[in-house]
């Protein structure tokens, strides 16, 4: 599962802190999943009382991920993906979306949460022609991530970097921007970035997020649209640029979906 010896399950269980709410588990709760604890459901419900739109945001963010990975596989022709901040497995994970179109696609998942690692076997159900790998690593060590991803991905070929709802966990927008730059520096021209993040357009969203950040959970910082657009500096944005995720190449089926403005996303190519 990693280059190192796999962490024994008992060690993982002891690392799971069920006394404070946790990002991946609350996100899983809002997405309708079952991999969460009472403390996460309580925090998720408290958040919804201030800003009910968060459930739509979580779901719209996943649908953006699906459409962008489909675009990268089908239209950009990518066959390799690096998904950092994977989260808990849901119905449609990056490898399933990509391998439905290209069974030979290779995917590396990265997260630093012990519960995500415990569920990683569900992320490792590759087609026989392709490959999936899970790496336990920290976003704040981009070179280490690239070094380990090279065990599964051929970094002499383009890669699709997926950063979906993770950069808000980095304290400042500037630091987050540096991380994106360092990750993209390790990838060839012709590689792509698919990124989506929460933005501070709605006062109730900002208030709910502030209360969440004071709950003991690892904070998540909403950014401005300008900051999220800045993450793509030096890259060529594909149409329609950085927009609310519901407006990024929507499908007919998505008509009627709430036009959530609180999550901005885009896809760009490294020239
Ligand atoms: C809000 S969830 C998003 C999950 C998924 N990408 C999605 O879009 O549904 C954020 C994920 O980032 C992970 N994460 C947070 N900080 C991290 C870090 N410093 N290094 C690696 N993963 C991190 C969390 O464990 C969690 O799984």
Report pLDDT for 123: 78
Cβ–ligand 1 distance for 61 under 6 Å, the answer yes
Q: Can you give the pLDDT at residue 16?
A: 75
Q: Name residues of the chain where pLDDT drops below 50.
A: 1-3
Give the per-residue pLDDT at 60: 93
Q: What are the beta bridge partners of residue 194?
A: 162, 267
Cβ–ligand 1 distance for 95 under 6 Å, the answer no
Angle of helix 38-50 relative to helix 54-74, nearest 10 degrees?
A: 100
CB distance 158 to 167 below 8 Å: no
Rounded Cα distance between 66 and 48, Å, is 24
Q: Could you give the C-alpha distances from 162 to 32, 96, 106, 191, 196, in angstroms and in order?
A: 22, 14, 13, 11, 9
Q: Which of 1, 32, 15 is nearest to 123 (CA)?
A: 1
265 Cβ below 6 A of ligand 1: no
> Angle at CA 127, nearest 5°, toward 248 and 187?
55
Peptide bond into 240 cis (omega under 30): yes
Supply φ then ψ for residue 136, to 5 degrees.
Answer: -90, 110
Q: How far apart are CA 213 and CA 26, in angstroms?
A: 13
Residue 166 CB–ligand 1 contact under 6 Å? yes
- Name the residue among 169, 60, 65, 63 with its Cα closest to residue 113: 169
Nearest-atom number in ligand 1 for the CA of 88 is: 27
Measured distance CA(120)–CA(227) in Å, rounded? 32
Rounded to an integer, what distance in angstroms lies between the CA atom of residue 36 and that of residue 27?
9
Ligand 1 mutation target, pool 17, 23, 108, most atoms within 8 A of CB = 23
Model pTM?
A: 0.93
Quote the pLDDT of residue 1. 43
Closest protein CA for atom 14 of ligand 1: 85
């Amino acid at each position: 599962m990693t280059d190192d010896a796999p962490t024994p399950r008992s060690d993982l269980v002891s690392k799971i802190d069920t006394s404070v709410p946790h990002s991946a588990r609350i996100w899983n709760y809002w997405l309708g999943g079952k991999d969460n604890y009472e403390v996460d459901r309580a925090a998720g419900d408290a958040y919804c009382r201030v800003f009910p739109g968060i459930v739509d945001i979580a779901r719209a963010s996943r649908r953006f991920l699906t459409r962008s990975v489909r675009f990268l596989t089908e239209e950009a022709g990518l066959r390799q993906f690096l998904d950092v901040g994977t989260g808990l497995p849901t119905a449609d994970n990056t490898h399933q979306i990509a391998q439905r179109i290209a069974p030979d696609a290779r995917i590396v998942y990265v997260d630093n949460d012990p519960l995500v690692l415990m569920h990683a076997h569900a992320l490792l159900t590759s087609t026989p022609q392709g490959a999936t790998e899970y790496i336990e690593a920290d976003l704040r060590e981009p070179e280490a991530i690239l070094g380990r991803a090279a065990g599964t991905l051929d970094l002499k070929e383009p890669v699709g970097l997926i950063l979906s709802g993770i950069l808000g966990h980095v304290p400042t927008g500037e630091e987050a921007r540096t991380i994106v730059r360092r990750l993209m520096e390790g990838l060839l021209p012709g590689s792509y970035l698919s990124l989506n993040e929460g933005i501070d357009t709605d006062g109730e969203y900002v208030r709910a997020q502030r209360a969440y950040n004071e709950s003991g959970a690892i904070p998540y910082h909403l950014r401005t649209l300008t900051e999220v657009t800045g993450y793509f500096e030096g890259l060529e944005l594909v149409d329609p640029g950085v927009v609310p995720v519901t407006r990024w190449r929507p499908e007919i089926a998505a008509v009627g979906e709430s036009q959530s403005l609180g999550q901005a996303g885009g896809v760009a190519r490294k020239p």
